[in-house]
Amino acid sequence: MENFDILNALILLANFVIVPAISYGSQLAIAALGITIVYAVLRFSNFAHGDLMSFGTMTAILFTWLFQNLGITGGVLPTALIALPFAIIVTALLCLLIDKSVYRFYRKQKSHAVVFMIVSVGVMFILNATVRFIIGPNDRTFFDGEKFLIRALDFKASTGLEEGLTIKSTQLITVIVAIITMLLLFYFLQKTKMGKAMRAYSNNEDLALLSGINPDRVVMITWIIVGALGTIAGVLYGLDKSFKPFTYFQLLLPMFAAAIVGGIGNPIGAVVGGYIIAFSEIMLTYAYKKFFIYLLPEHLEPSGLMQFLSTDYKFAISFIILVIVLIIRPTGVFRGKTI
Amino acid sequence: MNKYFSSSNMTGGYGGVDILNDCGIEVNQGEISVVVGPNGAGKSTAMKAMLGMITLKSGDVILNGKDISGLTPEDRVAQGIAFVPQTMNIFSELTVKENLEMGAFLRNDNINKTIEDIYKLFPILKDKKNQLAGELSGGQRQQVAVGRALMTKPSVLMLDEPTAGVSPIVMDELFDRIIEIKNTGVAIIIVEQNAKQALSIADFGYVLVGGKNKFTGKGSELLNNPEVRKAFLGG
């Protein structure tokens, strides 16, 4: 079995680092896209985005329960995927309602971006309370359908390796839905008249007005997109892990870190930032002991866990990356600010 | 009898201070009117007032016999008035072609013909159509800016210091293009610092001082007027 050590080590890494980081990174990327688009078009940091995701996910759960009661299920796929479009519509409507009742007032006043940010914190608290009021603060699993795509035991049996590889169906769903979402979004922004108008408005607001681009329409489309992105990211995260309102509030830090690392306001940056944060978080908190046992000769085997940071500190990693990026390259990996 | 696009008795400015004091500018289709004057004379302000970007205390703006004083800038653009601001006049993060497309945002018909016309007028833009406008040189940016404004097929084109910050060669080239645009029947108003060159292509000129029309007349007349020469054209 000596020859398979390298293979075993790689499977171990794939199972505990690469596969989870890709799916978590996809979820962060979609979430960071929502933040970055609000920043680019509406010009403020939307602290309510985490709780917007939470609201969207809650709506999807309620629809899932409704469909399950009606006997409609997704078969091998989670029922939540059927509920997703309905949840997107409800969440987008909520975004428009919030904009009409809250943000529009400050836009008319031409308030400073900091005022908008504080207002978004208020919206965050209200959304947070609303979600907990409706569905409660507890952990909920709303996944149904086929749980595994590849099971560790089957993998071991078929390959004869010591290490097993598990791929959950939610991980594959996350990646597929994330890719479709990104392709649709980039197609919209790059190829359609309205998408180009959004970028133009983001780039040079005065000239956009002179060109006859209607700002109210741009704002409306932006909120619909942000509602959709938030719901998709929230549902994917909730399916993969579980739904707990407070977790979504905690996700704000890695989400903002992802958007800023990539270059806030830049959609490609948000995607890249999402994966950078996800890989950093998981790679720096994984215990590499077993990995090195496979690779190193016996007398060099590590005695400790070979873990850089305890998983309790995973949020500290986003924070450290955020600070480093802001010091060394404040505009992020890609030039940020406009879309 | 008013000309095609005209303003009269314009008084007003930003906040409480009046920058314009009873000034008026007119232009006919197929003609160029040039507005010159010292810094702070209200040249750009007069142009912005004609577009509706400034609320006037008094004054009328008439387009083709119709009073448009009450319209917003966007509505005036829809009426066929195009404006090229002095700064921030392109979408720097969009490609050249996308800049042109955004200029035609209000149009629902096929814009490809107009884009081709603009490529004919500014051939360099065709070569650079997929490049970000922000990466172009100063002269090329001005071409993008003018091209974007022309996408609405306007009857009036207003240019706020189009030659600011470009080299003399590019400036001559740009003026040549502006004359070409004029020859298609567009009414053109130019605010310029380079008074001599601008007046030499002008059908009609205005010298603004303190927000008032100090001298008006044909471009050649102003160029030969000893008083104007002494005060504004360096003798």
Q: If you ran DSSP here, which 8-state letter would residue A311 be given?
A: G
User: B105, A206: Cβ pair inside 8 Å?
Assistant: no
**B82: nearest CA in chain A?**
A210
Question: Does residue A1 carry a pLDDT above 80?
Answer: no
Which residues have CB under 8 Å from A140's CB, separation 6+? A61, A242, A243, A244
DSSP secondary structure string for all residues of A32-95: HHHHHHIIIII-S--TTHHHHHHHHHHHHHHHHHHHHHTT---TTS-THHHHHHHHHHHHHHHH
CB pairs under 8 A between A and B: 58
Q: What sign does the dihedral B105-B106-B109-B111 (CA atoms) show?
A: negative
Q: CB distance from B128 to chain A under 8 Å?
A: no
pLDDT over 70 percentage in chain A: 98
Dist. CA B25–CA B207, nearest whole Å: 10
**Distances from the Cα of A79 to the Cαs of A62, A100, A131, A170, A240, in angstroms?**
11, 32, 21, 12, 14
Dist. CA A232–CA A249, nearest whole Å: 16
- List strand residue ranges (DSSP E) for chain B, in order: 5-12, 20-23, 26-27, 32-36, 56-63, 66-67, 81-84, 156-160, 187-191, 204-209, 212-218
Region A210-227: mean pLDDT is 95
Dist. CA A51–CA A132, nearest whole Å: 10
Determine contact, residues B32/B54, Cβ cutoff 8 Å.
no
Q: CB distance from B179 to chain A under 8 Å?
A: no
Whole-number pLDDT of residue A2:
57
Tell me which amino acid residue A70 is.
Answer: L
Q: What sign does the dihedral B150-B155-B161-B162 (CA atoms) show?
A: positive
Q: Which of A73 and A198 is assigned the larger pLDDT?
A: A198
Whole-number pLDDT of residue B229:
86
pLDDT tens string B171-184: 999 999 999 999 99
Burial A169-204 (b: 16+ CB within 10 A, else e): bbbebbbebbeebbeebeeebeeeeebbbbbbbbbb
Question: Does residue A174 carry a pLDDT above 80?
Answer: yes
Other CB atoms within a 10 A radius of the CB of residue B4 amount to 17
Question: Does residue B5 carry a pLDDT above 50?
Answer: yes
Q: Which residues does chain A have within 8 Å of residue B101's beta carbon, measured at their own beta carbons?
A: 193, 196
User: A211, B148: Cβ pair inside 8 Å?
Assistant: yes
Q: Which of A296 and A46 is assigned the larger pLDDT?
A: A46
User: A211, B83: Cβ pair inside 8 Å?
Assistant: no
End-to-end CA distance of chain B: 34
Which residues have CB under 8 Å from B122's CB, separation 6+? B143, B146, B147, B177
User: A206, B103: Cβ pair inside 8 Å?
Assistant: no
User: B77, A206: Cβ pair inside 8 Å?
Assistant: no
Question: Does residue A75 carry a pLDDT above 90?
Answer: no
Determine contact, residues A263/A333, Cβ cutoff 8 Å.
yes
Region A134-159: mean pLDDT is 91
Whole-number pLDDT of residue A335:
74
Nearest to A115 by CA among A55, A42, A51: A42
Dist. CA B77–CA B73, nearest whole Å: 6
Tokens 């719901």 — which residue? A231
User: B91, A209: Cβ pair inside 8 Å?
Assistant: no
Whole-number pLDDT of residue B189:
97
A140 strand-pairing partners: A243
Tokens 């009036």 — which residue? B156
**B98: nearest CA in chain A?**
A196
Q: Which residues does chain B have within 8 Å of residue A339's beta carbon, measured at their own beta carbons?
A: 93
Q: Which residues does chain B have within 8 Å of residue A216's beta carbon, measured at their own beta carbons?
A: none
Question: What values do phi and psi take at A307, rounded to 5?
Answer: -115, 125
Of B88, B92, B103, Cβ closest to residue A211: B103
Whole-number pLDDT of residue A207:
95
pLDDT tens string A76-133: 999 999 999 999 999 999 999 999 999 999 999 999 999 999 999 999 999 999 999 9
Question: Does residue B227 carry a pLDDT above 90?
Answer: no
Other CB atoms within a 10 A radius of the CB of residue A254 amount to 29
**B90: nearest CA in chain A?**
A207
Q: Which residues does chain B have within 8 Å of residue A268's beta carbon, measured at their own beta carbons?
A: none
User: B91, A199: Cβ pair inside 8 Å?
Assistant: yes
pLDDT tens string B196-223: 889 999 999 999 999 999 999 998 899 9
**Distances from the Cα of B131 to the Cαs of A208, A331, B99, B120, in angstroms?**
19, 22, 11, 18
Q: CB distance from B199 to chain A under 8 Å?
A: no
Question: Does residue A339 carry a pLDDT above 50?
Answer: no
Of A197, A202, A210, Cβ closest to residue B73: A210
Query: What mean pLDDT, rounded, does chain A reach?
Result: 93
Which residues have CB under 8 Å from A268's CB, separation 6+? A262, A334
Domains along chain A with CATH numbers: 2-328 (1.10.3470)
- Rounded to the nearest angstrom, the minimum Cα separation between A198 and chain B is 10
- Rounded to the nearest angstrom, the minimum Cα separation between B220 and chain A is 33
B157 strand-pairing partners: B82, B188
Question: Does residue A34 carry a pLDDT above 60?
Answer: yes
pLDDT bucket at B228, cuts 50 / 70 / 90: confident
Tell me which amino acid residue B29 is.
Answer: Q
Whole-number pLDDT of residue B39:
85
Of A193, A200, A206, Cβ closest to residue B94: A200
Q: Which residues does chain A have within 8 Å of residue B103's beta carbon, measured at their own beta carbons?
A: 211
Of B83, B94, B101, Cβ closest to residue A210: B83
pLDDT over 90 percentage in chain B: 78
> In a mutagenesis test of the A interface, which of B105, B146, B150 is the best target, namely the one with the most A β-carbons within 10 Å?
B105
User: B105, A211: Cβ pair inside 8 Å?
Assistant: yes
Question: Does residue A182 carry a pLDDT above 50?
Answer: yes
* Distance of alpha carbon B211 from the chain centroid: 18
Nearest to B151 by CA among B176, B181, B172: B181
Question: Does residue A338 carry a pLDDT above 70?
Answer: no
User: A213, B102: Cβ pair inside 8 Å?
Assistant: yes
Whole-number pLDDT of residue A337:
63
Of A196, A206, A212, Cβ closest to residue B98: A196
Q: Which residues does chain A have within 8 Å of residue B81's beta carbon, measured at their own beta carbons?
A: none
Which residues have CB under 8 Å from A110's CB, separation 6+? none
Strand B66-67 to B56-63 pairing: antiparallel
Region B129-141: mean pLDDT is 94
Which residues have CB under 8 Å from B203's CB, separation 6+? B28, B31, B32, B33, B218, B219
> In a mutagenesis test of the A interface, which of B91, B92, B153 is the best target, namely the one with the most A β-carbons within 10 Å?
B91
